[in-house]
Amino acid sequence: MRKAASLLAFLILAACSKPHPPQGRWEGGYAGNGTLVAARVEILPDGMVKISAPDITNMENARPERLRAIREELAADLVTAWDTVAPRPFDFDGKTFRKPGGVAPQMEWDKDSGQMTLKLYIGANPALPIVLRPVDYFHDSPWGTG
């Protein structure tokens, strides 16, 4: 009887423990509706998260060659500044990342596909979902071309 009670207590505590965020790296880019974003996310073994997502808006009327140049600039900014990005904590419920004590989702994790979706808030607009793919190492271009 005592072993059963101990096992039950252990299972209850295990069920109540906070899920540990997935460790790894993700990257991706977004280009649409006049907005371009280059993004990287790295979740460290201790659960701390590094995020960088330089963006530019109001590019609706930009010519294709200008958009290519901006994509290259954003990718270069991402690479150049990555070493200065400080890891920070997030609350994680097994699927959604939020700032500590916050309400708004900052990222969503799909365990089945390994996909991470960054929720980028630009101005007063609704969250812009930036779909990120898992990578073993970061590339020169988050769009997968470099």
Write down the pLDDT at residue 144: 72
| Residues of the chain scoring pLDDT < 70 | 1-16, 145-146
Its sign, for the CA torsion 37, 38, 43, 48, is: negative
Q: Where are the alpha helices (DSSP H) in the chain?
A: 2-16, 64-81
- Please tell me the predicted confidence (pLDDT) of residue 107: 97
Q: Calculate the average pLDDT of the chain.
A: 89
pLDDT at 17: 72
pLDDT score for 124 = 87
Q: Phi and psi dihedrals of 44, rounded to 5?
A: -80, 165
Q: Do 40 and 49 form a contact (C-beta atoms < 8 A)?
A: no
pLDDT score for 146: 45
pTM above 0.75, yes or no: yes
How high is the pLDDT of residue 58? 92
